[in-house]
């Protein structure tokens, strides 16, 4: 079976949605275009709130929220994502300082079998890890807010060397990556992962009290939104029984 037919079949088999002509047409168009860059870059789409002249992908109607009460849960989410990737994943990772962005990437690396120490690429812009079952790229694009357009263009040229291959690429501060005022990700199938703090209500274990009591613990939450068929399949895989340990909200 060719890759182009297998991705269409996977989308149909794993999709939790009822038949929707527009979504099926998008999947069939991707199948029709074949493999390589054309397979993963999409026709012009617009959605409510988006400029009608600006190309882009429609977000999935079924985003996924996962509770991350501790460090281990964030690692587990990273591992679950990596274990669900068979060909490629592009992840736009967003979240405040200390929300667990680097921890999530470390979980990806653990599942891929990366042997190097995974650290934040704050000062290098991009860290590469090639010791796992597929390459892992971790980019911190904050410096693009200070650099010229030529830096973004040079980065885009560098990414073109591997962005359509078998790999996982994680981009922090992805919204800063623009070419000619358009987001680099506008027509690129990708998964948006937003990490944020959340207050979790837990029952108290104080046995001296006769009545139930509760306390508030600061945890984290991940919101996953797919933009593109491949990312939609990835979210569907995360919902399977194999990942039942994830605290899906």
CA 71, CA 230: separation in Å to the nearest integer? 28
Does 14 fall in a domain? Answer: no
In the numeric block, the tokens 């899906």 are attached to 248
Is residue 138 very low, low, confident or very high in pLDDT (cuts 50, 70, 90)? very high
pLDDT at 4: 42
| Alpha carbon 231 to its chain's center | 7
Task: Give the mean model confidence (pLDDT) for residues 120-141.
Answer: 95
Checking if the pLDDT of 174 tops 60, the result is yes
Provide the 8-state DSSP code for 240: S
Does 209 fall in a domain? Answer: yes
Give the residue with greater pLDDT, 195 vs 52: 195
Is residue 198 very low, low, confident or very high in pLDDT (cuts 50, 70, 90)? confident
- Residue pLDDT, tens place only, 6-44: 444 544 444 443 444 454 445 444 444 444 443 444 433
- The enclosing H or E element of 34 equals none
Range of the domain at 88: 58-248
Q: Are 44 and 70 in contact (CB under 8 A)?
A: no
Give the tokens for residue 203.
Answer: 């029952």
Does 134 fall in a domain? Answer: yes
Which one of 6-10, 129-133, 243-247 scores highest in mean pLDDT?
129-133
- Mind giving me the DSSP string for 186-214? TTB-EEEEEEEEEEEEEE---TT-SS--E
pLDDT at 57: 54
Is residue 149 very low, low, confident or very high in pLDDT (cuts 50, 70, 90)? confident
Does 1 fall in a domain? Answer: no
pLDDT at 212: 52
Checking if the pLDDT of 172 tops 90, the result is yes
pTM of this prediction exceeds 0.75: no
Looking at the chain, the whole-number percentage of residues with pLDDT higher than 90 is 56
> How would you classify the pairing of strands 178-179 and 182-183?
antiparallel
pLDDT at 91: 98
pLDDT at 201: 58
Is residue 241 very low, low, confident or very high in pLDDT (cuts 50, 70, 90)? confident
Give the tokens for residue 130.
Answer: 């090639």
Task: Give the mean model confidence (pLDDT) for residues 95-123.
Answer: 94
- The enclosing H or E element of 175 equals none
Give the residue with greater pLDDT, 58 vs 198: 198
- CATH code of residue 93: 3.40.50.300
Does 4 fall in a domain? Answer: no
Does 74 fall in a domain? Answer: yes
CA 244, CA 30: separation in Å to the nearest integer? 31
CA 43, CA 38: separation in Å to the nearest integer? 10
Does 114 fall in a domain? Answer: yes
Tell me the CA distances in angstroms from 36 to 43, 103, 113, 160, 212, one per residue in order. 15, 31, 26, 12, 58
Checking if the pLDDT of 51 tops 60, the result is no
Which residues make beta-bridge pairs with 41?
A: 188
Does 206 fall in a domain? Answer: yes
Q: What is the mean pLDDT of the chain?
A: 78
pLDDT at 249: 87
Task: Give the mean model confidence (pLDDT) for residues 95-118.
Answer: 95
Among 99-108, 131-140, 177-186, where is mean pLDDT lowest? 177-186
Looking at the structure of the chain, the number of domains it has is 1
Task: Give the mean model confidence (pLDDT) for residues 123-150.
Answer: 92
């Amino acid at each position: 079976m060719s890759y182009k037919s297998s991705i269409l079949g996977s989308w149909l088999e794993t999709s939790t949605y009822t038949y929707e002509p527009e979504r099926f047409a998008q999947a069939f168009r991707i199948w029709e275009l074949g493999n390589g860059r054309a397979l993963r870059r999409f026709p012009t789409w617009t959605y409510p709130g988006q400029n009608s002249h600006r190309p882009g992908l429609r977000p999935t109607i079924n985003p996924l929220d996962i509770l991350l009460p501790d460090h281990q849960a964030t690692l587990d989410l990273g591992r679950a994502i990596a274990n669900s990737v068979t060909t490629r994943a592009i992840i736009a990772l967003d979240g405040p300082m200390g929300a667990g962005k680097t921890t999530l990437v470390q979980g990806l690396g653990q599942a891929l079998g990366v042997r190097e120490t995974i650290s934040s690429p704050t000062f290098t812009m991009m860290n590469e890890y090639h010791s796992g079952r597929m390459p892992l790229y971790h980019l911190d694009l904050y410096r693009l807010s200070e650099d010229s357009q030529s830096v973004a263009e040079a980065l885009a040229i560098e990414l073109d060397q591997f962005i359509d291959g078998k790999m996982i690429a994680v981009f922090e501060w992805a919204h800063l990556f623009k070419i000619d005022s358009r987001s680099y990700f506008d027509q690129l199938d990708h998964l948006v992962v937003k990490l944020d703090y959340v207050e979790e209500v837990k029952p108290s274990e104080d046995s001296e009290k006769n009545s139930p009591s509760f306390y508030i613990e600061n945890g984290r939450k991940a919101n996953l939104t797919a933009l593109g068929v491949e990312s939609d399949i990835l979210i569907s895989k995360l919902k399977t029984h194999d990942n039942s340990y994830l605290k899906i909200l």
